[in-house]
Amino acid sequence: MSHSSSHQHDHHAGHAHHHGHFHGASSNYNKAFAWGVALNLGFVVVEVIYGLIADSLALITDAGHNLSDVLGLLLAWGASYLATRSPTSRRTYGFRRGTILASLLSAILLLLALGAIAWEAAHRINQPVRVDGMTVIVVSLIGVVINTATALMFLSGQKHDLNIKGAFLHMAADAGVSFGVAAAGVIIMFTGWLWLDPVISLLIVAIILFGTWGLFRDSLNLAMDTVPSHINPDEVEAFLRSYAGVTDIHDLHIWAMSTTEVALTVHLLIPNQSVDDVFLGELALQLNERFRIGHCTVQVERGDGASCHLAHPGSL
């Protein structure tokens, strides 16, 4: 069985199925992205104005972070749209990889924003500034409502799409951040502890850093064609080796085409069995159902002396 016919059948069996799913996922979140961007952009303006009036670093910090979230949402939205664009003869995968690059850039933006916030907060611990507690409380509680509502719009998709997870993490972190800022405002009103405003800012930075680092690591791994974290490559290899008629495998590669689609290429040695489209279609179906690998290309070899040049140690 030639390489090309294996791939041709799979294109219909596995890839077409997954591509349809992706279209649906993207369009489902268009409304969530639009609302998320509009609400957060409006809130950034409110926070900056009242942060300056109240002279609260925690509020201005949160506004800066919310602005990076708007950029993150726009990135994720743009990438999810590009991922639905059809492939061309030059861009044979289309723009799917854009979703991975968007989640990576989103994480980098967040890390840069956190560094700037931490620097300013450290400076303010040495030189505390009087803060208008009531303004801080009211504005922050508005933030809790807006960010929680936005995060809930992305809740269902964040388990299966790193791009959507980036949007969800930003919003969920913001809801927690706003709640922390409101709590600081209450305590400052009753105690006059001005140092609490920058300390809360640093605590916020630490919490967001924890979530952002995971997003950065996962995005970087996908950008480097690492096997996606939800797939155990040893289990995939064991499954392929135990498949009917297979005596050996080599040149197995598993990588993410986008934040929702996974591809696989492998060479199977099947010396004693005739392989047809039904065999290849069933294999593609099994890989999709067991491991969520939706686009596989299989090369079948007889092992009749014409050894494949890729079958050498270390190619797995």
Task: Report the distance separating Cα 294 and Cα 256, nearest Å.
Answer: 10
pLDDT exceeds 80 at position 314: no
User: What percent of the chain has pLDDT above 90?
Assistant: 26
Q: Which of 22, 31, 42 is nearest to 154 (CA)?
A: 31
Return the HEC string of 68-81: HHHHHHHHHHHHHH
Domain-embedded: residue 269: no
Domain-embedded: residue 298: no
Which is higher by pLDDT, 45 or 316? 45
With contact defined as beta carbons under 8 Å apart, do 105 and 75 qualify?
yes
Domain-embedded: residue 139: yes
pLDDT exceeds 70 at position 275: yes
Task: Report the distance separating Cα 233 and Cα 227, nearest Å.
Answer: 7
Domain-embedded: residue 35: yes
Domain-embedded: residue 90: yes
Q: 17 pLDDT band (50/70/90 cuts)?
A: very low
pLDDT of residue 25: 44
Rank 132-136, 256-260, 261-265 by mean pLDDT and report only the highest. Answer: 261-265
Domain-embedded: residue 194: yes
Q: 224 pLDDT band (50/70/90 cuts)?
A: very high
Which is higher by pLDDT, 193 or 7? 193
Q: 310 pLDDT band (50/70/90 cuts)?
A: low
Q: Which of 48, 31, 65 is nearest to 173 (CA)?
A: 65
Q: Which domain holds residue 55?
A: 21-223
pLDDT of residue 191: 86
pLDDT exceeds 70 at position 244: yes
Domain of 28, CATH number, reads 1.20.1510.10
Domain-embedded: residue 149: yes
Domain-embedded: residue 99: yes
Which is higher by pLDDT, 170 or 42? 42
pLDDT exceeds 70 at position 186: yes
Please state, rounded to an integer, the average pLDDT across all residues of the chain.
Answer: 81
pLDDT exceeds 70 at position 315: no
Which token pair is 104? 């990576």
- Domain count for the chain: 1
Q: State how beta strands 295-301 and 248-256 pair.
A: unpaired
Rank 74-88, 91-105, 281-295 by mean pLDDT and report only the highest. Answer: 281-295
pTM: 0.72
Q: 24 pLDDT band (50/70/90 cuts)?
A: very low
Q: Which of 109, 105, 17 is nearest to 293 (CA)?
A: 17
pLDDT of residue 254: 96
pLDDT of residue 307: 60
Q: Which of 187, 263, 190 is nearest to 226 (CA)?
A: 263
pLDDT of residue 266: 95
pLDDT of residue 161: 80
pLDDT in tens, 164-183: 887 887 788 778 777 887 88
